[in-house]
């Protein structure tokens, strides 16, 4: 079988087809790269948990919370507290859910500025949560790591001005003892306790 020369494409047609195929291949490669980058960034955002420092920076200042007539969830925490760290993601999602109705206040127990509040609310384990009404009066408290649903139920009751249903709950905590004398920049007890506190349940 012989090929008829008239059936063979001319050079310009071959060049146009080749250029068109290269353009398509280039576009497919660019789309694949863009999708890979989008998937990578999306999965990275989902796995990164907010840090306690980030949550604290974005929390409501105590003086604002006590003046704006909204109920408040006050959390005493420390960056070294593993129970506090474990709850950071839940606290972030609760803040997103309730931020229009509740003040979220975070007080770092390592900051001697908050020693009066630490003593007032008898903070000896963290995280320590205090539920305040719109007038700043303490209604209930809970100590230690809490399931998200318990905190959500308590916040819903706080907003509805009902009795906080699951107050006095105790979960895993980092032991903390405020320093009333001596170095007040670091109120953790160092009496035989390793750095980072002790865990208890």
Point out the residues that are catalytic.
Answer: 81, 84
Report the largest interatomic distance among the alpha carbons of the chain, rounded to a whole angstrom.
104
Do the beta carbons of residue 54 and residue 85 sit within 8 Å? no
**Count of helix runs (H) and strand runs (E) in the chain:** 6, 7
Grouping H, G, I as helix, E, B as strand and the rest as coil, residue 144 is coil
Instruction: List, edge to edge, every strand of the sheet that includes 72-77.
Output: 103-108, 72-77, 128-132, 138-143
According to DSSP, the β-strands at 173-175 and 199-200 are antiparallel
Q: Which two tokens stand for residue 84?
A: 């506090």
Kindly report the three-state secondary structure assignment for every residue of 151-184.
HHHHHHHHHCCCCCCCCCCECCEEECCCCCCCCC
């Amino acid at each position: 079988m012989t090929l008829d020369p008239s059936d063979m494409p001319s050079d310009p047609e071959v060049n146009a087809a080749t250029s068109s195929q290269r353009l398509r291949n280039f576009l497919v490669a660019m789309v694949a790269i863009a999708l890979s980058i989008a998937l990578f960034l999306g999965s990275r955002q989902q796995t990164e948990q907010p840090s306690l420092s980030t949550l604290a920076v974005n929390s409501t200042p105590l003086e604002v919370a006590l003046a704006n007539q909204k109920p408040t969830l006050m959390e005493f925490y420390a960056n070294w507290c593993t129970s506090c760290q474990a709850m950071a993601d839940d606290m972030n999602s609760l803040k997103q859910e309730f931020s229009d109705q509740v003040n979220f206040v975070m007080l770092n127990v390592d900051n001697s500025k908050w020693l009066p509040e630490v003593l007032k609310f008898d903070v000896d384990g963290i995280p320590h949560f205090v539920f305040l009404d719109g007038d700043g009066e303490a209604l209930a408290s809970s100590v230690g790591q809490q399931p998200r649903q318990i905190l959500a139920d308590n916040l819903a009751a706080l907003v509805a001005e009902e009795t906080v249903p699951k107050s006095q709950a105790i979960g895993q905590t980092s032991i903390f003892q405020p320093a009333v004398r001596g170095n007040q920049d670091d109120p953790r007890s160092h009496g035989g306790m390793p750095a980072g506190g002790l865990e208890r349940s």
